[in-house]
């Protein structure tokens, strides 16, 4: 007599969260202040303002923009404010940081926007593997977001989950 193989993982009531599902879908455009500096390292106010006035910002229209400076130059705070004042009316979202940093910031924002009520008293596994780089801060954020709602929180895969939190009965 053969016993039927039962897939207990498929039949479980575990909810799996893949943090990469919360990654920004939009392309992140880069605005590097270095391109407006004299010899790529010196900010001359008059030249800087002139460059901004003549700059074609149309490629940033409706986009998400990462504003930063890749050069090891001293950039005064007002310069970032000035560039922002040109970008804000054109782009849909503006962040300070490299493309990678902005990607992580948006992902973090998306995690904090999760409606934790969906996971009330549920058993949740946060996937440990992803096809995109995920920082530690994202795992801290999802734990912070869900711990007060879930009955248990785990890390990994259903077949090999590491318990993180279990609500006391």
Whole-structure pTM value: 0.84
For tokens 């970008």, what's the residue?
A: 87
Q: Is the dihedral of CA 132, 20, 166, 161 positive or negative?
A: negative
Per-residue model confidence as pLDDT tens for the chain (169 residues)? 567 765 555 546 899 999 999 999 999 999 999 999 998 889 999 999 999 999 999 999 999 999 999 999 999 999 999 999 999 999 999 999 999 999 999 999 999 999 999 999 999 999 988 889 899 999 999 999 999 999 999 999 888 899 999 998 7
CB 126 within 8 A of CB 17: yes
- Scanning the chain, the segments in alpha helix (DSSP H) are 8-11, 45-54, 77-87, 99-112, 136-146
Cα distance between residue 10 and residue 23, in whole Å: 26
User: What are the Cα distances from residue 105, in Å, to 35, 37, 60, 111?
Assistant: 24, 27, 19, 10
Cα distance between residue 77 and residue 95, in whole Å: 14
Q: How many residues does the chain have?
A: 169
Bridge partners of 40, per DSSP, are: none
């Amino acid at each position: 007599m053969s016993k039927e193989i039962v897939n207990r993982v498929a039949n479980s009531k575990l909810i799996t969260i893949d943090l990469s599902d919360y990654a920004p879908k939009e392309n992140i455009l880069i605005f590097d202040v270095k391109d407006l500096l004299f010899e790529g390292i010196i900010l001359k106010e008059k030249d800087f303002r002139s460059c901004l006035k003549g700059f074609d910002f149309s490629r940033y229209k409706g986009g998400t923009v990462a504003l930063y400076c890749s050069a090891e130059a001293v950039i005064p705070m007002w310069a970032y404010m000035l560039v922002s004042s040109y970008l804000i009316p054109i782009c849909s979202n503006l962040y300070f940081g490299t493309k990678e940093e902005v990607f992580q910031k948006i992902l973090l924002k998306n995690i904090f926007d999760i409606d934790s009520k969906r996971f009330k008293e549920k058993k949740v596994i946060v996937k440990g593997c992803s096809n995109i780089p995920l920082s530690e801060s994202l795992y801290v954020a999802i734990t912070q977001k869900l711990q007060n709602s879930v009955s248990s929180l785990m890390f990994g895969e259903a077949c090999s989950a590491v318990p993180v939190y279990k609500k006391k009965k």
